[in-house]
């Protein structure tokens, strides 16, 4: 029962190299998602206008 009540910090590794790699991957994913979000925001009005004009 004590192992279930332990904090979530015990589940993470304290290896600094691994933490740097995880942080790098998180930054890359955040950057990728920002690019995807920007592209979708750019394409949405264009797609709507395309559908309105062609129908």
**In whole angstroms, what is the distance from residue 12 CA to residue 10 CA?**
6
> Domain boundaries in the chain?
28-55
Instruction: Return the DSSP state at 13.
Output: -
Could you read off the pLDDT of 1-55 as tens digits, one per residue?
Answer: 555 555 555 566 689 999 999 999 999 999 999 999 999 999 999 999 999 998 7
**In whole angstroms, what is the distance from residue 31 CA to residue 29 CA?**
5
pLDDT at 17: 94
In total, the chain counts a number of residues equal to 55
């Amino acid at each position: 029962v004590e192992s279930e009540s332990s904090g979530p910090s015990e589940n993470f590794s304290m290896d600094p190299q691994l933490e740097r790699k995880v942080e790098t991957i998180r930054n890359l994913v955040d950057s990728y998602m920002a690019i995807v979000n920007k592209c979708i925001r750019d394409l949405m009005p264009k797609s709507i206008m395309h559908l309105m004009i062609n129908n």
